[in-house]
Amino acid sequence: MGEKATHFGFSEVDPADKAERVGQVFESVADRYDLMNDLMSLGAHRLWKDFALARASVRAGHRVLDVAAGSGDMTARFAQRVGDAGQVVMTDVNPAMLEQGRKRLIDKGIGSNVEFLLADAEALPLMPGGFDCVCIAFGLRNVTRIPKALESMAQMLRPGGRVVILEFSHPVSEWLSRAYDLFSFSVIPPLGRMVTGDEASYRYLVESIRRHPDQNRLSQMMRESGFEDVNYHNLNGGIVALHLGFRY
């Protein structure tokens, strides 16, 4: 008997099929991914990422692993923070997104302290205990088995290392939740069609947010995966949450 079905947006799919479907989504939107992020969040995603960087407590000389790094927004921030004495390993399971990120970093003059690696978040092919910080920003909800990804990231941290998880979450008030749903389902998929020619992919992205564990459930999953001192910060009323944890 195989694994039980998992979700792909609001649909139930075989776990073996989800990674391929998610890959097709990001291959389709890779070229316009950053523009859509600005339009969907009205530029707020930049502030959320700056906040995550500040709470990561990364310093010069640190080694950072950026998982499901996409177009490299967090990688660029970390690379500038750790400096020439440090290193950032940028990973993504999708070749199109990884290449998009590599090109963006090169265009910014960043790359001498960055390594690019095609890798699955659920089975990171790196030496355990080699990183001061592991980050995943807006990528966790797209993995097939979240507990396996959390366990894999925990293994990458040295004792005392910190995990930083920035992800869309669940608004804390009913009125905000209703307004957010109205915006998400009425505006984002049609906007995706106009900007990228792909409405279906952005409908999936909206639906995937609704299926993602809420703040308390994700915190519990982190503890079960080996993280300690787990806490979170709600941003924009819980539309986004920053989860932090440590490995001791």
Q: Domain ranges for the chain, please list them.
A: 6-173+202-247
Q: What is the pLDDT of residue 42?
A: 87
Q: What is the pLDDT of residue 134?
A: 98
Alpha carbon distances (Å) from 19 to 32, 167, 203: 21, 19, 17
Question: What tokens were used for 112?
Answer: 């001498």
Q: Which residues pair with 240 in a beta bridge?
A: 168, 235
Residue partners of 8: CB distance under 8 A and separation at least 6:
17, 18, 21, 22, 204, 208
Give the HSE-up count for residue 170: Cα atoms under 13 Å, Cβ half-sphere: 10
- The residue written with tokens 């790196």 in the block is 126
Q: What is the pTM of this model?
A: 0.91
Burial per residue of 51-86, b for 16 or more beta-carbon CB atoms within 10 angstroms, e otherwise: ebbeebebeeebbbbbbbbbbbbbbbbbbebbeeeb
Are 93 and 117 in contact, with CB atoms under 8 Å apart? no
Q: Does domain 6-173+202-247 have CATH number 3.20.20.70?
A: no
Enumerate residue ranges in the chain where pLDDT < 50.
1
Q: What is the pLDDT of residue 1?
A: 41
pLDDT, tens digit (0-9, with 9 covering 90-100), for 107-158: 999 999 999 999 999 999 999 999 999 999 999 999 999 999 999 999 999 9
pLDDT, tens digit (0-9, with 9 covering 90-100), for 46-65: 999 999 999 999 999 999 99
From the list 169, 170, 166, 154, the residue with the least C-alpha distance to 224 is 154
Q: What is the pLDDT of residue 2?
A: 54
What percentage of the chain reaches a pLDDT higher than 90?
Answer: 77
